[in-house]
């Protein structure tokens, strides 16, 4: 089945501010040419250049996933550094399979919209995909996918089962953070949330928990990057669901993983332990952090 890939440069706006329009444009051209060449090696066709990324179509899901893994690995082993003191370029990618309609060389369809939303949702160096792609993959490729559970993609009424492609092998990955443990409901769960050394224990109820700058929030967090009602947490079907309702997003770091699940008006399950970074990523100056632990 045709498979769509959106591959975007992380933080492209900052690159234009740092390098200036001319140099940043040259860098983006260099990067999009690189993406196009790698995609072509896997029978992919670049449909459109997006300024800070590429929209491509592949004949099948396996080719698309292989191309994305090859690119992420290349950026990791042979980093592209914009200038002295700059961080290496990082990519975020979304992959979706489905029927497409082609008109005058452009492609349209639900798979295109979903792949774009997945790329927006992905964090740096991440590849996100869905159950549709899982269904199309052979066993060797399926072994790379780690379930993130069901989430709402922007603009879609129904939730989608989201997977992350684990292209970096890590034998110490915390198994409780993802995978099958997400499907083992526990009706007696409680959630411990810690802000600036103060811990509150919340029983999980259908009414939910609110986190935000408002003094009426269940867990107030006073920081200008935090929205008045930044996120909500509630129980659904025995699972703990975090929903981002903020202006600037929420980053969820599971266990001791360095990579985050980025939420922008979307949701994910909370399992195990980890940290929430509100309104910015965890490495930002004095980032407002909430530690969580499911007990």
Structure token pair of residue 258: 């360095």
DSSP, residue by residue, 195-229: ETTEEEEEE--TT-EEEESSTTSSEE---TTS-TT
Instruction: For residue 176, tell me if it sits in a domain.
Output: no
| pLDDT surpasses 60 at 179 | no
Residues 198 and 161 in one domain: no
Q: Strand pairing of 127-130 and 91-97?
A: parallel
Residues 95 and 240 in one domain: no
Residue 185 pLDDT level (bands cut at 50, 70, 90): very low
Domain harbouring 238, CATH code? 2.60.200.20
pLDDT confidence of residue 161 = 87
Instruction: For residue 174, tell me if it sits in a domain.
Output: no
Instruction: For residue 202, tell me if it sits in a domain.
Output: yes
**Which domain-ending residue is among 169, 202, 232?**
169
Confidence (pTM):
0.61
Residues 149 and 253 in one domain: no
Question: Please, how many CA atoms are within 13 Å of residue 232, restricted to the half-sphere of its CB?
Answer: 12
Residues 135 and 201 in one domain: no
Domain that holds residue 118: 3-169
Residues 87 and 156 in one domain: yes
Find out whether 117 and 151 touch, Cβ atoms under 8 Å. no
Instruction: For residue 179, tell me if it sits in a domain.
Output: no
Look at the chain and report how many structural domains it folds into: 2
Find out whether 35 and 7 touch, Cβ atoms under 8 Å. yes
pLDDT confidence of residue 150 = 76
Q: Strand pairing of 190-195 and 198-203?
A: antiparallel
Residues 48 and 156 in one domain: yes
pLDDT confidence of residue 173 = 40
- More confident site: 205 or 25: 25
Residue 180 pLDDT level (bands cut at 50, 70, 90): very low
Q: Name the β-bridge partners of 239.
A: 236
Q: What sign does the dihedral 237-240-245-250 (CA atoms) show?
A: negative
| pLDDT surpasses 70 at 206 | no
pLDDT digits (tens, 9 = 90+) for 110-149: 899 999 889 887 877 889 999 999 999 998 888 889 887 7
Residues 163 and 198 in one domain: no
pLDDT confidence of residue 174 = 39
Instruction: For residue 185, tell me if it sits in a domain.
Output: no
Instruction: For residue 184, tell me if it sits in a domain.
Output: no
Domain harbouring 89, CATH code? 3.30.70.1230
20: left (phi > 0), else alpha (psi -120 to 50), else beta? Answer: left
Q: Name the β-bridge partners of 102.
A: 107
Residues 19 and 157 in one domain: yes
Instruction: For residue 175, tell me if it sits in a domain.
Output: no
Residues 76 and 203 in one domain: no
Residues 161 and 206 in one domain: no
Instruction: For residue 144, tell me if it sits in a domain.
Output: yes
pLDDT confidence of residue 141 = 87
**Which domain-ending residue is among 136, 169, 202?**
169
Q: Cα(32)–Cα(109) distance, rounded to whole angstroms?
A: 23
| pLDDT surpasses 50 at 181 | no
Q: What sign does the dihedral 212-217-222-227 (CA atoms) show?
A: positive
Mean pLDDT of 257-277: 85
Residue 260 pLDDT level (bands cut at 50, 70, 90): confident
Residues 132 and 247 in one domain: no
Q: Cα(4)–Cα(23) distance, rounded to whole angstroms?
A: 29
Find out whether 79 and 10 touch, Cβ atoms under 8 Å. no
| pLDDT surpasses 90 at 220 | yes
| pLDDT surpasses 60 at 44 | yes
Residues 232 and 148 in one domain: no
């Amino acid at each position: 089945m045709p498979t769509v890939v959106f591959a975007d440069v992380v933080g492209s706006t900052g690159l234009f501010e740092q390098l200036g329009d001319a140099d940043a444009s040259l860098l983006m051209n260099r990067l999009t040419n690189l993406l196009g060449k790698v995609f072509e090696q896997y029978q992919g066709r670049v449909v459109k250049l997006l300024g800070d990324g590429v929209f491509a179509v592949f004949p099948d899901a396996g080719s698309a996933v292989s191309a994305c893994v090859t690119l992420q690995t290349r950026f990791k082993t042979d980093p592209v550094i914009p200038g002295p003191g700059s961080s290496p370029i990082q990519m975020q990618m979304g992959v979706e399979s489905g029927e497409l309609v082609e008109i005058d060389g452009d492609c349209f369809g639900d798979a295109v919209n979903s792949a774009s939303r997945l790329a927006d949702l992905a964090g740096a160096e991440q590849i996100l995909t869905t159950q549709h792609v899982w269904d199309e993959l052979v066993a060797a490729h399926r072994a790379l996918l780690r379930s993130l559970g069901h989430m709402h993609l922007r603009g879609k009424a129904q939730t989608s089962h989201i997977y992350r492609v684990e292209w970096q092998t890590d034998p110490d990955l915390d198994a409780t953070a993802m995978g099958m443990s997400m499907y083992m409901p526990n009706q007696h769960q409680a959630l411990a949330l810690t802000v600036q050394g103060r811990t509150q224990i919340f029983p999980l109820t259908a009414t939910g928990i609110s986190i935000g700058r408002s003094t009426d929030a269940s867990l107030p967090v006073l920081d200008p990057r935090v929205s008045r009602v930044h996120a909500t947490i509630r129980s659904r079907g025995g699972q703990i669901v975090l929903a981002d309702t903020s202006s600037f997003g929420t980053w969820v770091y599971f266990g001791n993983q360095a990579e985050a699940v980025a939420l922008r008006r979307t949701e994910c399950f909370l399992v195990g332990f980890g940290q929430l970074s509100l309104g910015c990523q965890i490495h930002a100056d004095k980032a407002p952090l909430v530690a969580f632990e499911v007990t």
